A and B are shown apart, each in its own frame.
Chain A
Amino acid sequence: MSTLLKLLGFETAPIQTIESVRLTLGWGWAGLILALLVAVPAFLLTYRVEDKPCSRPLFFTLTGLRLAFVAGLLVLLAGLKCTVSGWIPQKNKLAVVIDTSRSMSIREEGVSRLERVQEALGKGRLIETLERRTGITPALFSFAGSVAPLSRDDVASFGLAPDGPQTNLTRAVTDITNHLGEGNLLGVILLTDGAHNTGDNPLDALARHRTPLYFLGTGRTGQVSDLAISLERPPSVGYLNSLVRLRGELRIQRIASNTIPITITKDGAPFSSIDVTASPGQSRIPFAINIPCDTEGAFTFAVSVPKFPGELTHENNETGFLLKVVKERLKILMLAGSPGWDQTFIRSAARSDPNAHVYGWTRVGENRWLPTVDSELKAAVPAPVLTDLEDADVVILAGMPASVLEPHAELLLGRIEAGKTGLLILPGLSGYADLGYAGSKLKTLFPVELAGEAWVGTPCSLVLAARDTPYAFLRLLDDPIENQEFFASLPKLDGLFTYQARKSGAETLLSSTIERNGAAQPAFLTHRVGQGNVAMLCGGPLWPMGFTQVPTDRTIRPYTAFVMNTLKWLANRREDAQVTLELPSSRGFTGQPAVLRVWVSDTRRRPVDTAQVSAQMSTAGGEPVSLTFTATTEKGCYESTFIPAARGLHTITAKAVHQGSLLGEARGQLLVEVPTAEFDDPEVRTDLMSRLASSTGGAYRPVEARDALLEAIRPTPGKKQETKSFEARDSGLLLALLLALPLAEWIIRRKRGFS
């Protein structure tokens, strides 16, 4: 085949072994047949052999030559293409990867996991044996959260330390295969305990990899004892005279005691304690504690469990969080186009919070408005006076016509963009497009495009969009599954307003059981307008939820908690300053980047994009660290990444300078902890490694049985599949052959005296 292709002028190199040859047509086979069906009868009808004597063999020869020419011409015109597939020999590669995460420091029988690796590489001469067996010099890497190349000297001297804060098997394998090329990678040999604890699940992500994974498992199972405490998204802000909920988990591994006391200290002084009892066989025990916020200020809480002798580590016996208690005065302004029960129930929920103050205007008729002043309904007046817009923390819009708000649009937009006011949009009786918002500048406030607004009157339930929601106001029950079920069990909405499109950046907080074009329609959405938060409820009524009694150990009922926490989140508390500092969390971890954001505005609360923003990060007894911020795509927003090196309370002071003058300073605190994820599941993960090896065609062995694993690696010659395509029209030989057909016919005709 290769010779024939060469004869036609097609070069198949570098393919050495042709596996398949495929002919295709640019027109498709059907196109060619149709063309032949037209051309051949047309030719036969018009073909002439004059009125001269012609023998049958001659007639068939002449006709055959002409037909072959017509058919050949059509085949070439149809774009005949020859596709050749075959193999190219390749040099094989192998990778040896050493896990240097902190879990490799775990000692079993007096030897750490990394020391077992060192022994295998040193005394065991793993690399040399591998080279001898396969004839391949392996590429060497270390990995924890990410991958780093190693030299032979690095391995020989073994200066590796188990200091990686996390283990990401998926990223390690993906990075190595990308670096070396998957096609000719004979395999990846991982010396690890398999304690994957961050990134995508390797069983899902690596199952499709064609590279065999060979695991040499280090460590012994069933020998580790440990007691660990961790907190789940600890609260960072509390409001005076309210409670915050602290959730966490105890992990018990071969600890003699079943009852574990948890002690909480506040700024070093004893604050509270609870006893948590584990059932037999239970290794993970969730706990939750209410923390009353009765004093204003910033407090450092430490949550600890006793330290038992022989524990794997004592680093995870204590954790902490920062809590800023603010004196909240939540001014809620409710603007309603007509009275409604939803508004009544929101006002009722707000009354449960002594810090909440409800103001409002409800339209009850032509030139008749009912004012609410500090939660008290007043007698009707002819027109609303919207001066409360100037200092409202949250505005609730409930079907108020756009024409009423239009004169105050700039004020409202400005305050929301500056993050000084949040907006909750409740559905109007007939939607917002009809109320004039579609053509108003206020339409930017909506997280949806108002065009195409349609009411779907199908009763529907609420669906929590993400079980592990990052929004605290959607976490009404401690258990995520129960919480999701709680939302699903709430009284149904009568229906929803649906919209053709969400605005970019809008996020669905609660979706519904109503589907449109196969997608669940959102019931509760949010988006950012500048620095401000906007949430929109698309359906109703909401108030039947107010009657729902849910068994809970909290002193606050879920409905009230949902309403109040949503309103407080919308209020987006920021200091009244031109420079504000935003931390992703009040807690960070050593070695893990924390993205800090600074928002800068001028005296008129307009975002400033050309400021010079810097920050100083200081810790008690440590050298201060300077940070430089760069502008982001968001107006007036600057970002910097800080990787904490030491644990402890870090104080951040950010300042912004614009045109040589200081715009302001903002302060924040970050409590840095040592990440303990590496010790969360300290057992060697033989099951995970075995399954990964099996799904990729590799093998798993304990590191002590490394010779058996090396036996499993087959040093087959490497090859890579290659495909090449050739156009028949590019072949000179084919063209010559085609032209030879009419020439032959002409010669015969001339010789026999035909025209």
Chain B
Amino acid sequence: MCMTRPARGGKRTTGARMAQCGWIWIILPFWLAILTIPASGAEWGTIAIPRIQYGGGGDWYTDPTSMPNLLKAAAERFNLPTRPEHFPIRISDQALFTYPLLYLTGHGNVKFEDQEVNRLVTYLDNGGFLWIDDCYGIDKSIRRELRKLYPDKEPALLPADHPIYRTAYDLPQGLPKIHEHDGKPPQGYGIFSKGRLVIFYTYETDIGDGLEDEGVHPENTPEKREEAMKMALNILFYALSQ
């Protein structure tokens, strides 16, 4: 739009109007040229991590800022292309197969329907990765559901020298303790299928709490939050690199 003002001392002429609008016609081609120049940097293969919206009554939506913060850190610290958003996905959703890494957390009961079990196994056996983070109280139900997924496989406790603790950052002590619940040590369990770690289950630590925005959990010191971030980045890098 061309904003005009009446000329001083009289009626505006067309020529004067043209002269005042002229700068637009000079600048417009430059803007068009800039817009049509191919971007020098590519934007492809963007990493996004949805959280599983499961049944059973558990609060799948807890720690809403955890994944956006993790993806922001991956972009800032490691220059990875990410989409730092908090968004849910159902296992039955068609879009499930467009995300190679899924996040599952909450308190309370987790339940997968039979169709969801088949779909999730297909997803995992074809290259998908699931990170389960026990916010508190899903251990019993998630172990039951994991047996549905892989009846012949028990979650195995990963030792502190496992590479998942040494990808982006070295965590020589293994899984860090972020949030105290039952006084138990933090434990990282894995389920392997076809020679690959397909599920990583972090228990008795609550990494997601540590990833939340500053102040959401005042008891988490900056050091604790950094430890949680390092571990979360290690999980992301492990899933990307294994």
| B242 adjacent to A380 (CB under 8 Å) | no
Q: Given A344-B127, A495-B44, A541-B45: A455 and B39 within 8 A (CB)?
A: yes
Question: Closest CB-CB distance, B23 to chain A, in whole Å?
Answer: 30
**B156 contacts the other chain (CB 8 A):** no
Tell whether A725 is near chain B: CB-to-CB under 8 Å. Answer: no
Which of B42, B97, B242 touches A547 (beta carbons < 8 Å)?
A: B97
Contact B237 A370 (CB under 8 A): yes
Q: Give chain A nearest CB distance to B33 CB in angstroms.
A: 15
Complex Cα spacing A98 to B39, Å: 65
Q: Mark B121-134, 1 if CB is under 8 A from A, else 0.
A: 01100111000000
When the two chains form their complex, are residues A543 and B100 in contact, meaning their CB atoms are under 8 A apart? yes
State which residues 457-497 of A face B: CB under 8 Å: 457, 491, 493-495, 497
Segment at the interface with A among B4-12, B56-64, B77-85, B107-115: B77-85
Partner of B42, one of A365, A379, A427: A427
CA distance A498 to B241 in the complex (A): 27
Q: Are B240 and A341 in contact (CB under 8 A)?
A: yes
Most chain A C-beta atoms within 10 Å of own C-beta, residue among B42, B79, B126? B42
Q: Which of B138-146, B162-170, B219-227 contacts A (4 or more CB under 8 A)?
A: B162-170
Specify which chain A residues have a CB less than 8 angstroms from the CB of B194 in the assembled complex: 348, 351-352
- For residues 12 through 53 of chain B, which have their beta carbon under 8 Å from a beta carbon of chain A? 38-47
Minimum Cβ distance to chain B for residue A465 (Å): 22
Q: How far is the CA of A543 from the CA of B240 in the complex (A)?
A: 12
Bound: A343/B128 CA distance, A: 13
B42 touches A497 (CB 8 A): yes
Chain B positions 87-127 with a Cβ under 8 Å from a chain A Cβ:
97-98, 100, 122-123, 126-127
**Chain B, Cβ-Cβ closest to A491:** B98
Nearest to A459 among chain B residues (CB) is B44
- The residue in chain A whose Cβ has the minimal distance to the Cβ of B101 is A341
Does B127 lie within 8 Å of A541, measured CB to CB? no
Q: Which chain B residue shows the least CB distance to A370?
A: B241
Do the beta carbons of A455 and B127 come within 8 Å of each other?
no
Given contacts A338-B80, A455-B39, contact A347 B100 (CB under 8 A): no
> Is the CB of A544 closer than 8 A to any CB of chain B?
yes
Query: Of the candidates B42, B123, B166, B170, which one forms a contact with A495 in the assembled complex, judged by CB atoms under 8 Å apart?
Result: B42
Q: Give the Cβ gap from B91 to chain A, nearest Cβ, in Å.
A: 14
Q: A234–B131 Cα gap in the complex (Å)? A: 45
Q: Are A364 and B40 in contact (CB under 8 A)?
A: no
Q: Chain A residues with Cβ under 8 A from B242's Cβ?
A: 344, 347, 377
CB distance from B160 to the nearest CB of A (A): 11
When distances are taken between beta carbons in the complex, the residues of chain B under 8 Å from A340 are 45, 240
The answer to whether B43 and A379 touch across the interface, beta carbons within 8 angstroms, is no
A380 touches B80 (CB 8 A): no
> For residue B166, which residues in chain A have a CB less than 8 angstroms away from its CB?
379-380
CB proximity of A338 to chain B, nearest CB, Å: 7
Residues of chain A contacted by B239 (CB below 8 angstroms): 344
Indicate if the CB atoms of A429 and B237 lie closer than 8 Å.
no
In this complex, the interface size class of chain A, counting residues with CB under 8 Å from chain B, is 35 or more
A 409-448 to B, binary, CB cutoff 8 A, 1 in contact else 0: 0000000000000000001011100100000000000000
> Does A549 belong to the interface (CB within 8 Å)?
yes
* Residues on the B chain within 8 Å of A434, using CB: 40
| Alpha-carbon separation in the docked complex, A380 to B230 (Å) | 14
Q: Is B195 an interface residue (CB 8 A)?
A: yes
**Min CB gap A200→B, angstroms:** 41
Q: Does B136 contact A (CB under 8 A)?
A: no
Q: A residues 651-710 with Cβ under 8 Å of B? A: none
Q: Give chain B nearest CB distance to A563 CB in angstroms.
A: 11
Among B42, B47, B122, B195, point to the contact of A351 (Cβ < 8 A). B195
| Complex Cα–Cα for A454 and B80 (A) | 19
B241 touches A342 (CB 8 A): no
- The answer to the question of A122 belonging to the interface, with a C-beta cut-off of 8 Å to chain B, is no
Interface 1/0s, chain B 207-242, versus A by CB < 8 A? Answer: 000000000000000000000000000000111111
Interface size on B (CB < 8 Å)? 38
A150 to chain B minimum Cβ distance, whole angstroms, is 64
| Residue from B97, B163, B242 with most neighbouring chain A CB atoms (10 Å) | B242
Q: How far is the CA of A344 from the CA of B100 in the complex (A)?
A: 10
Say yes or no: is A339 at the interface (Cβ < 8 Å to chain B): yes
Asked if B45 and A380 make an inter-chain contact with CB atoms under 8 angstroms apart, the answer reads no
A residues 521-580 near B (Cβ < 8 Å) are 539-541, 543-544, 546-547, 549
Roughly how many angstroms separate A347 CA and B242 CA in the complex, as a whole number?
A: 8
Nearest A residue to B172 by beta-carbon distance?
A379
Over the window 180-199 of chain B, the binary record of Cβ atoms lying under 8 Å from chain A Cβ atoms (1 yes, 0 no) is: 00000000000000111000
The answer on a CB contact under 8 Å between A342 and B195 is: no
Instruction: Give chain B's interface secondary structure class.
Output: loop
Is the C-beta of B161 less than 8 angstroms from some C-beta in chain A?
yes
| Cβ distance A360 to chain B, nearest Cβ, rounded Å | 8
B98 touches A544 (CB 8 A): yes
In contact, B80 and A546 (Cβ under 8 angstroms):
no
Q: In the assembled complex, how far is the CB of residue B242 from the closest CB belonging to chain A, in whole angstroms?
A: 5
CB neighbours (8 Å) of A539 from chain B are 44
* A301 contacts partner chain B, Cβ-Cβ < 8 Å: no
A498 to chain B: which residues have CB within 8 Å?
A: 38
A547 close to B127 (CB less than 8 A)? yes
Residue in contact with A344 in the complex, picked from B168, B195, B241, CB distance below 8 Å: B241
List residues of chain B with CB within 8 A of the CB of A339: 80, 237, 240-241
Known contacts A365-B168, A370-B237: A378-B163 contact under CB 8 Å:
yes
Which residues of the partner chain A approach B43 to less than 8 Å between Cβ atoms? 455, 457, 494-495
CA of A372 to CA of B167, assembled, Å: 11
On chain A, the residues within 8 Å of B161 by CB distance are: 379
Chain A neighbourhood of B167, CB < 8 A: 364, 370, 377, 379-380
Q: How far is the CA of A339 from the CA of B42 in the complex (A)?
A: 16
Q: Select the residue from B77, B168, B170 with max chain A CB neighbours within 10 A.
A: B168
Q: Considering the complex, which residues of chain A in the window 327-377 have a beta carbon less than 8 Å from any beta carbon of chain B?
A: 338-345, 347-348, 351-352, 362, 364-365, 368, 370, 372, 375, 377
Contact partner of B45 (CB less than 8 A), chosen from A348, A494, A497, is A494
| A342 proximity list for chain B (CB < 8 A) | 45
Expressed in whole angstroms, the minimum distance between the Cβ of B198 and any Cβ of chain A is 10
Q: Which residue of B lies closest to A363 (CB)?
A: B78
Residues in chain A near residue B126, CB distance under 8 A:
348, 546-547
Interfacial chain A residues near B40, Cβ < 8 Å: 430, 434, 454-455
Per the bound structure, the CA–CA distance linking A546 and B125 in Å amounts to: 10
A456 within 8 Å of B (CB atoms): yes
Query: By the criterion CB–CB under 8 Å, are B44 and A547 in contact?
Result: no
CA distance A456 to B37 in the complex (A): 10
Q: Determine the chain B residues whose CB is within 8 A of the CB of A427 once the complex forms.
A: 42, 44
CB neighbours (8 Å) of A455 from chain B are: 38-44
Closest to B43 in A: A457
Is the beta-carbon distance between A541 and B38 smaller than 8 angstroms?
Answer: no
Pick from A339, A341, A427, A547 the residue with the most CB of B within 10 Å: A339
The one of A351, A364, A543 in contact with B168, judged by C-beta atoms closer than 8 angstroms, is A364
User: In this complex, what residue of A is CB-closest to B97?
Assistant: A547
Contacts known (A338-B78, A457-B43, A543-B127); A377 close to B38, Cβ less than 8 A: no
Q: How far is the CB of A524 from chain B (nearest CB, A)?
A: 15
For A452, give the chain B residue with the smallest CB separation. Answer: B38
Contact across chains for B78 and A430 when beta carbons are under 8 A apart: no
What are 28 residue pairs bridging A and B, where the CB atoms are less than 8 Å apart in the complex?
A: A338-B78, A339-B240, A339-B241, A344-B241, A344-B242, A348-B196, A352-B194, A364-B168, A365-B78, A365-B168, A368-B168, A370-B163, A375-B195, A380-B166, A429-B79, A430-B40, A455-B38, A456-B38, A457-B39, A491-B98, A494-B45, A494-B46, A495-B44, A497-B42, A541-B44, A541-B45, A547-B97, A547-B123
Chain B residues packing against A (C-beta within 8 Å): 38-47, 77-81, 97-98, 100, 122-123, 126-128, 161, 163, 166-168, 170, 194-196, 237-242
Which 10 A-B residue pairings sit nearest by Cβ, starting from the closest? A379-B166, A339-B240, A494-B44, A547-B97, A455-B42, A454-B38, A541-B45, A348-B127, A377-B242, A339-B241
Extra contacts besides A344-B127, A430-B42, A549-B122 (11): CB < 8 Å = A341-B100, A343-B241, A344-B242, A348-B127, A348-B196, A379-B167, A430-B40, A495-B42, A495-B44, A498-B38, A539-B44
